[in-house]
Amino acid sequence: MGEQPQERSGYITPTRELERRWSLVRGAMDRQGIDCLVIQNELGAMGGYVRYFTDSVANPYRTTVLFPAKEDMFMIDHGSPASNVYPPFFKPRGLQGNVLSPYVQTFNFAQDYAARAAVDFIRDHGFKTLGWVAMTNIDAAFYRYLTENLPDCEFVDASDLVDRIKAVKGPDEIESIRQTIELHDRIIGLVPEFARPGRYEFEIRSDLIKASLDLKSEEQNIMVGRHPRRSAMFPPNVQTQKLQSGDVLTCLVEISGQEGIFAEVGRIFCLGEPPKALLKAYETSVEAQRLIASQMKPGADPVQIYEAANAFLVSRGYNREERIVAHGQGYDMVERPAVAPGETMVLEENMLIAIHCGAHNANGGASSTDNYLITADGANLLTQTPQKIIVI
């Protein structure tokens, strides 16, 4: 007897959770007069919108989801039009149909394949107001084809509509978050076992990825870097250095659990006595993190928190953080709300936030990366790994 579909099934988001999301989004669409949302994602750590709506991982060649306000979804994906990419156990719930088309981003001649299917579906259902979700994910050729071939439709940006719902986690998501945080604590706790003089940065990263996979992590983004005196991290293609006695090793673990939820944890390890400047920078970073967390309450403005964090860093002799000091997480490794200039979303209860405010100046720098859950009383630290430089 051949393989049964259920033998391939991994974690499945409870239907009650999907229905909770769909109901909230459709309610908001109805209030704003939007007939259908247009969503695109590619496989990867920033492919969360497709996962959020369908519990299905986006295709590397890009997945398109059309989410009507009053009927089931429609999906457009890469594949042979004569085949069915979704055996029964993969088929997302809440889906009325799907179309497969052999489009690939590197094939310019195929740039309209998915768009044609989308236009046909929209015309057939008589939708008049369409909402783009995260326009930074919508490819230019798809956008152009829809806007040129649907002249009677109104296009609006529905990103805020979805983001404000997606950022607030439901009970099932919070349970997944706690499991993912526990996974991060376990993985970062393995670094002292793998890091020793004579080993290369890429070997440590490889060990951590394998350990993550063994613990059912779906996707891994792990940054590793050694330096003689200060904290430093490098992407995989330049993780080429061999550790030596006395080195500073920085490790950032950003992985998703088997439920698809991302979190992150970052720590500094020393193969000897930590330099004094590094200790001071790390202590300042932890103080900044606690300051940020103390202000993270429902209704708080992330931009004001960003400015307060920077004022603190400058008062201690460190540079302003001109990037992001904290951000939301979920199906996307980095999602809203961002504690950064320009954010318009206020904090709400049940948001998952990663704080990674670094303290940097000419003498070096350091940071501690941890996850918090916003509660009615404020930010609750979920990460259990001690906030200290770990001496190996």
Residue 137 pLDDT exceeds 90: yes
Q: Round the CA-based radius of gyration of the chain to a whole number and report it.
A: 23
Whether the CB-CB separation of 102 and 61 falls below 8 Å is answered with no
Mean pLDDT value across the chain: 93
Residue 210 pLDDT exceeds 70: yes
Mean pLDDT (whole number) for 108-128: 96
Whether the CB-CB separation of 212 and 257 falls below 8 Å is answered with no
pLDDT, position 8: 54
Least confident among 163-177, 230-244, 308-322? 230-244
Q: What are the distances in angstroms from CA 4 to CA 8, 9, 51, 91?
A: 8, 10, 24, 15
Residue 163 pLDDT exceeds 50: yes
Residue 19 pLDDT exceeds 50: yes
pLDDT, position 81: 81
Residue 7 pLDDT exceeds 60: no
Residue with tokens 């100046």: 361
Mean pLDDT (whole number) for 19-29: 98
Nearest-angstrom CA–CA distance, 255 and 273: 29
pLDDT, position 13: 92
Mean pLDDT (whole number) for 123-143: 97
Residues 259, 348, 312: CA angle, nearest 5 degrees: 105
Mean pLDDT (whole number) for 197-223: 96
Mean pLDDT (whole number) for 36-42: 96
Residue 212 pLDDT exceeds 80: yes
Whether the CB-CB separation of 372 and 380 falls below 8 Å is answered with yes
Which residue type sits at 17?
Answer: E
Tell me: the pLDDT tens digits for 55-114? 988 888 999 999 999 999 999 998 888 765 444 445 678 999 888 889 999 999 989 999
Q: What are the distances in angstroms from CA 155 to CA 34, 38, 70, 130?
A: 9, 10, 18, 5
Q: What are the distances in angstroms from CA 172 to CA 121, 162, 169, 181, 329?
A: 32, 18, 8, 15, 15
pLDDT, position 57: 86
Q: What are the distances in angstroms from CA 383 to CA 1, 184, 190, 264?
A: 46, 8, 15, 9
Residue 240 pLDDT exceeds 70: yes
Sign of CA pseudo-dihedral 75, 81, 86, 91: positive
Backbone angles phi, psi at 264, to 5 degrees: -160, 155
E strand residue ranges, 244-328: 248-256, 265-270, 326-328
Q: Which long-range contacts (CB under 8 A, 24 or more apart) does 319-324 make?
A: 319/360, 319/361, 321/357, 321/358, 321/360, 324/356
Nearest-angstrom CA–CA distance, 253 and 256: 10
pLDDT, position 84: 53
Backbone angles phi, psi at 39, to 5 degrees: -125, 135
Tell me: the pLDDT tens digits for 69-82? 999 999 999 888 87
pLDDT, position 5: 43
Mean pLDDT (whole number) for 121-128: 98
Residue 156 pLDDT exceeds 50: yes
- Residues above pLDDT 90, as percent of the chain: 84
Mean pLDDT (whole number) for 204-215: 97
pLDDT, position 147: 98
3-state SS string over 133-169?
A: CCHHHCCHHHHHHHHHHCCCCEEEECHHHHHHHHCEC
pLDDT, position 89: 47
